[in-house]
Amino acid sequence: MNDRYDSVNSREVLERIARESSQETSETTVVASPGARAAAWAITVKSHSSYNVYNVIAMVIGVAGDEPTEIGQQLQAVNLAEPFQETGTLSAGTHAIMFRVGDKNIFYAPV
């Protein structure tokens, strides 16, 4: 009978400790994965499209003194340094860093 009393008592003690600890602690868990970051590329502006939208191409930067190599195909990106309702004035050949945000490509290159 003593073993049964100890078993019931131990279970009650464990349940009480579990309740107290869950009420006192607030634990936050953050999961980060390799795909959970903003992708960024070095780009060259090829031409103006419309408003503050430009045709750009990604580039690979080599060793110091060498010209960057263009890779991939042209795509469109928005220059956040220019107003959205005015025609952009950024010249072709400008270099910048482009980020992918949602379904849009954006960069910031002051004029």
What is the rounded average pLDDT of the residues 62-82? 92
Query: Does 3 fall in a domain?
Result: no
Query: Does 67 fall in a domain?
Result: yes
Query: Does 22 fall in a domain?
Result: no
pTM recorded for the entire structure: 0.64
Task: Report which of residues 16 and 80 the model is more confident about.
Answer: 80
Domain coverage including residue 85: 40-107
**What integer pLDDT is reported at residue 102 of this predicted model?**
81
Query: Does 46 fall in a domain?
Result: yes
Query: Does 33 fall in a domain?
Result: no
Query: Does 101 fall in a domain?
Result: yes
Tell me the DSSP string of 36-89: SS--EEEEEEEEEEETTEEEEEEEE--STTSPPEEEEEEEEEEETTS-TTS---
**What integer pLDDT is reported at residue 14 of this predicted model?**
72
**What integer pLDDT is reported at residue 99 of this predicted model?**
92
Query: Does 9 fall in a domain?
Result: no
Q: Lowest-confidence range among 48-52, 87-91, 100-104? A: 100-104
Measured between alpha carbons, how far is 79 from 95 in angstroms, rounded to an integer? 12
The pLDDT tens digits of the residues spanning 22-49 come to: 555 555 555 555 665 657 899 999 999 9
Domain total of the chain: 1
Query: Does 11 fall in a domain?
Result: no
**What integer pLDDT is reported at residue 54 of this predicted model?**
97
